[in-house]
């Protein structure tokens, strides 16, 4: 049944994915016309490279598209994935006309979308036909008769509703039949390379106790009553705190956590107090904290430079690509 509310251009019925371009007066087989475009100032050289690099500035996640072909699983890495509609639930993928995957996608074909997790870079390379040494064999869960890459951050199963001419790519609009997501961080792709989100705020917590204890020994105790503000966003972050008793609520845009006994607050800000606090922290009940001022911290680091070196190592490791 056609959706009566669908606009006219949506009503292009296709027998198979390959019929779509004809519907638009184009052909999959015809060489796409070359269209000149203007390059911005300072961008010289091969326009195709400049175009690719321009598009590469759009940061995306990375997915593996999967489908079943004669009891075989076929998978392909794709970052050209987008959400389209909530009702009906629709997604879109763009597939190179030279890719084997495209030839397997017809109207009604089910395909899986596995949104890769930060550690699945090797799988991304593998499904892109790149050399990926030491990557374990992927395993698949089958949902709605569709293979999905295990360990991925999110999964969708969709059925091809329509396909469209997209120059040297074909666009496949899929109606979603299944969706799930889990906890974790996504693998990202930007500027032609993999990236990841850095959300780990632990710095001092990662020091061995022989280096951390002398720093904390210079602190003094402070108490807070239920609901009292301990830190406010924007204030200079010139104190490091250790929760000795009770629990605190840490609120920042898009994220709320409760920290308890033995956990540190303000670990990054104390190293860069001018940046200001990035979260509001309130006492969830009566709270007792150990407070180490930045001045005391500097004294402790001067007394034992091994602690300073260990901190630099923690920070350097954070910036090295480890996915």
Q: Which residues bind ligand FMN (CB under 6 A)?
A: 62, 76-80, 94-96, 99-101, 124, 128-129, 189
Cβ 318 to ligand FMN, closest distance in Å? 23
Cβ-contact 140, 85 below 8 angstroms: no
Decide whether 96 or 263 has the Cβ nearer to ligand FMN.
Answer: 96
Decide whether 100 or 306 has the Cβ nearer to ligand FMN.
Answer: 100
As a whole number of Å, the CA-based R_g of the chain is 26
**DSSP at 32:** P
Decide whether 116 or 300 has the Cβ nearer to ligand FMN.
Answer: 116
Cβ 59 to ligand FMN, closest distance in Å? 11
Cβ 26 to ligand FMN, closest distance in Å? 18
Cβ 63 to ligand FMN, closest distance in Å? 8
Cβ 23 to ligand FMN, closest distance in Å? 21
The H or E element that residue 157 is part of is strand 154-166
Decide whether 124 or 201 has the Cβ nearer to ligand FMN.
Answer: 124
Nearest C-alpha neighbor of 263 from the set 282, 248, 283, 278: 248
Contacts of 144 (CB under 8 A, 6+ apart): 110, 157, 177, 178
CA gap 311, 305 in Å, rounded: 10
CA dihedral 31, 32, 38, 43 (to 10 degrees): -60
Decide whether 126 or 162 has the Cβ nearer to ligand FMN.
Answer: 126
């Amino acid at each position: 049944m056609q959706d009566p509310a669908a606009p006219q251009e949506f009503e292009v019925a296709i027998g198979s994915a390959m019929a779509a371009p004809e519907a638009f007066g184009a052909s999959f087989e015809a060489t796409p016309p070359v269209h000149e475009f203007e390059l911005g100032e300072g961008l010289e050289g091969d326009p195709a490279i400049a175009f690719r690099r321009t598009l590469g500035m759009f940061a995306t996640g990375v997915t593996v598209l999967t489908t079943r072909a004669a009891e075989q699983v076929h998978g392909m890495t794709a970052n050209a994935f987008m959400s389209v509609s909530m009702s009906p639930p629709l997604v879109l993928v763009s597939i190179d006309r030279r890719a084997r995957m495209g030839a397997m996608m017809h109207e009604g074909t089910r395909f899986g979308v596995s949104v890769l997790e930060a550690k699945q870079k090797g799988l991304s390379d593998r499904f892109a036909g790149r050399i990926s040494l030491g990557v374990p064999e992927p395993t698949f869960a089958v949902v709605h008769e569709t293979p999905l890459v295990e360990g991925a951050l999110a999964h969708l199963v969709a059925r091809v509703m329509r396909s469209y001419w997209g120059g040297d790519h074909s666009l496949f609009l899929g109606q979603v039949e299944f969706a799930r997501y889990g906890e974790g961080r996504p693998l990202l792709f930007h500027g032609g390379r993999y990236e990841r989100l850095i959300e780990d705020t632990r710095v001092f917590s990662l020091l061995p106790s022989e280096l951390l204890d002398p720093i904390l020994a210079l602190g003094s105790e402070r108490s807070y009553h239920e609901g009292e503000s301990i830190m406010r966003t924007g204030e200079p972050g010139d104190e490091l705190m250790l929760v000795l008793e009770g629990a605190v609520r840490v609120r920042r845009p898009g994220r709320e956590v409760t920290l308890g006994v033995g956990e540190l607050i303000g670990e990054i800000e104390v190293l860069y107090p001018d940046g200001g606090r990035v979260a509001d922290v309130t006492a969830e009940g009566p709270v007792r904290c150990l407070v180490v001022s930045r001045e005391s911290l500097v004294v402790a680091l001067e007394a034992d430079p091994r602690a300073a070196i260990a901190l630099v190592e923690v920070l350097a490791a954070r910036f090295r690509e480890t996915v």
